[in-house]
């Protein structure tokens, strides 16, 4: 089975990322190690099928910075919430796995949303259905339908923020057609 040839320009972000991971794994960012990592990255990209990372061509720094600040705030707040639940509620905490359908069918956007959510303590992506762009999130302290709806909204708000930061023009237009104004806050 032959696969479609991927242009170097399309493959470049993946190669750069693989070289960065190589340097991080070895904790050595010397030129020699990075060149060797680049050779390994090219071999890996040619031998193994890795789908191309399709970037939108847009990145809004003015939205990314407030998003990062809000994200860090959520990580800190959630850390304290998890600590409180562990110390004072213990085994009586109710958890749930919640299906959250996403707007975007882009692998990059689904992955980014899943990673952001998983980095916030108390939530973890346990399954991804690529065919429907649905994330299955294990949520801590989800007791009822209100908590379930709150978790879904948080995940979809995160996806909306990521679309405003780096989504395609089509995704951004669809988001605005849903009633999400372009000026809505970074954390919502």
* CB-based contact 75:120 (threshold 8 Å): yes
Sign of CA dihedral 151, 182, 108, 28: negative
Residue that is written with structure tokens 């600040």 in the block: 69
Looking at residue 68, its pLDDT comes to: 95
Q: Give 5 or 91, the one with higher predicted confidence.
A: 91
The residues spanned by each domain of the chain are 8-47, 61-177
Angle between helices 107-119 and 145-166 (to 10 degrees): 130
pLDDT tens-digit series, residues 76-129 = 999 999 999 999 998 889 999 999 999 999 888 999 999 999 999 999 999 999
Q: What share of the chain is helix, strand, coil (3-state, %, to 5)?
A: 60, 10, 30
Averaged over 58-86, what is the pLDDT?
Answer: 94
pLDDT tens-digit series, residues 154-167 = 999 999 999 999 98
**What is the separation of C-alpha 74 from the centre of its chain, rounded to a whole number of angstroms?**
15
Which of the four pLDDT bands, split at 50, 70 and 90, describes residue 1? very low
pLDDT tens-digit series, residues 121-153 = 999 999 999 899 999 999 999 999 999 999 999
Looking at residue 51, its pLDDT comes to: 67
H-helix or E-strand spanning residue 79: helix 61-84
Instruction: Print the SS3 string covering 12-48.
Output: HHHHHHHHHHHHHHHCCCCHHHHHHHHHHHHHHHHHC
pLDDT tens-digit series, residues 166-186 = 988 899 998 888 886 654 444
Enter the tokens of residue 161.
């923020």
pLDDT tens-digit series, residues 11-43 = 777 788 889 989 988 999 999 999 999 999 988
Looking at residue 185, its pLDDT comes to: 43
What is the three-class DSSP state of 139?
strand
């Amino acid at each position: 089975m032959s696969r479609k040839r991927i242009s170097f320009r399309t493959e470049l972000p993946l190669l750069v990322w693989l070289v960065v991971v190589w340097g991080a794994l070895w904790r050595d960012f010397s030129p020699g190690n990075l060149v060797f990592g680049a050779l390994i990255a090219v071999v890996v990209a040619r031998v193994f099928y890795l789908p191309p990372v399709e970037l939108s061509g847009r990145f809004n720094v003015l939205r990314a910075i407030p998003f990062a600040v809000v994200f860090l705030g959520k990580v800190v707040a959630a850390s304290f919430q998890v600590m409180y639940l562990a110390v004072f509620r213990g085994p009586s905490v109710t958890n749930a796995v919640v299906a959250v359908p996403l707007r975007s069918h882009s692998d990059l956007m689904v992955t980014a949303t899943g990673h952001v959510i998983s980095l916030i303590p108390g939530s973890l992506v346990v399954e991804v259905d690529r065919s429907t762009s649905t994330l299955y999130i294990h949520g801590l302290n989800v007791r009822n339908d209100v908590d379930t709806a709150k978790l879904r909204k948080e995940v979809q708000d995160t996806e909306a923020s990521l679309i405003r930061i780096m989504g395609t023009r089509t995704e951004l237009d669809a988001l605005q057609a849903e009633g999400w104004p372009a000026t809505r806050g970074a954390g919502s």
